[in-house]
């Protein structure tokens, strides 16, 4: 099995129309990912999970309660085929491919323009792992290892780094000086020192009080 040449990228889906064909648990997980990216989501399926029904009632998504039709891909940026019917998934992929629309047929690599990676999320920090469809199980194992390595503290640390970077840019500090400082602040040693600084700061505040 040869590996396809992949281009890694993070897509901005906010406001983009996306379609999920299928309404089972797998489709539900894909819908959740799309909604988290603030996409506009249509779900096409005769039946959907209770959770998807709740989201449809709240207006978080549009449920088209029927079988897939070619017109469902009109004006669509991205489509996910997540049915248990291989023929339907193949039809979705072929029509998407004809239109130049990005398509992922779940667990069917030959019918995918892109893959869903295993992702570690810590606020704005996202680490994505792909095995090009060879072994999702390995990708999940690596994800768990990275989750242990990059703990919840990275979320607040990254927010702090972003605020510091914005302040430095507003002050007009030279690019080279700014680069050196930001690289120093982004080091693992700087992260380890964060709790010490918080303790010293709270201790000094208590002394003043």
How does pLDDT run across 12-28, given as a tens digit for each residue? 999 999 999 999 999 99
**pTM, rounded to two decimals:** 0.79
β-strands 17-21, 40-44: how paired? parallel
Residue with the bigger pLDDT between 179 and 60: it is 60
Q: Which residues contact 141 (CB under 8 A, 6 or more apart)?
A: none
d(CA 132, CA 114): 9
d(CA 108, CA 82): 10
Q: Which residues contact 92 (CB under 8 A, 6 or more apart)?
A: 21, 68, 73, 79, 81, 103, 105
Residue with the bigger pLDDT between 83 and 107: it is 83
pLDDT bucket at 1, cuts 50 / 70 / 90 = low
Average pLDDT value for residue range 178-204: 68
The pLDDT assigned to 200 comes to 45
DSSP code for 147: H
């Amino acid at each position: 099995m040869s590996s396809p040449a992949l281009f890694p990228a993070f897509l901005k889906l906010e406001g983009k129309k996306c379609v999920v064909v299928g309404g089972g648990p797998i489709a539900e997980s894909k819908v959740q990912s799309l909604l988290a990216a603030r996409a506009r989501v249509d779900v096409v399926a005769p039946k959907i999970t209770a959770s998807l029904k709740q989201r449809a009632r709240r207006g978080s998504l549009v449920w088209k309660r029927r079988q897939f039709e070619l017109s469902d891909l009109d004006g669509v940026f991205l489509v996910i085929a997540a049915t248990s019917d291989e023929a339907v998934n193949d039809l979705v992929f072929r029509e998407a491919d004809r239109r130049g629309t990005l398509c992922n047929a779940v667990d069917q690599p030959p019918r995918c323009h892109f893959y869903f990676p295993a992702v570690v999320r810590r606020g704005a920090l996202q680490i994505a792992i792909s095995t090009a469809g060879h072994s999702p199980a390995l990708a999940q194992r690596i994800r768990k290892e990275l989750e242990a390595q990059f703990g919840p503290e990275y979320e607040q640390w990254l927010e702090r780094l972003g605020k510091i970077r914005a302040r430095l840019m507003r002050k007009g500090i030279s690019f080279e000086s700014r680069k050196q400082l930001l690289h120093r602040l982004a080091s693992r040693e700087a992260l380890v020192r964060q709790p010490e600084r918080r303790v010293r700061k709270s201790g000094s505040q208590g002394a003043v009080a």
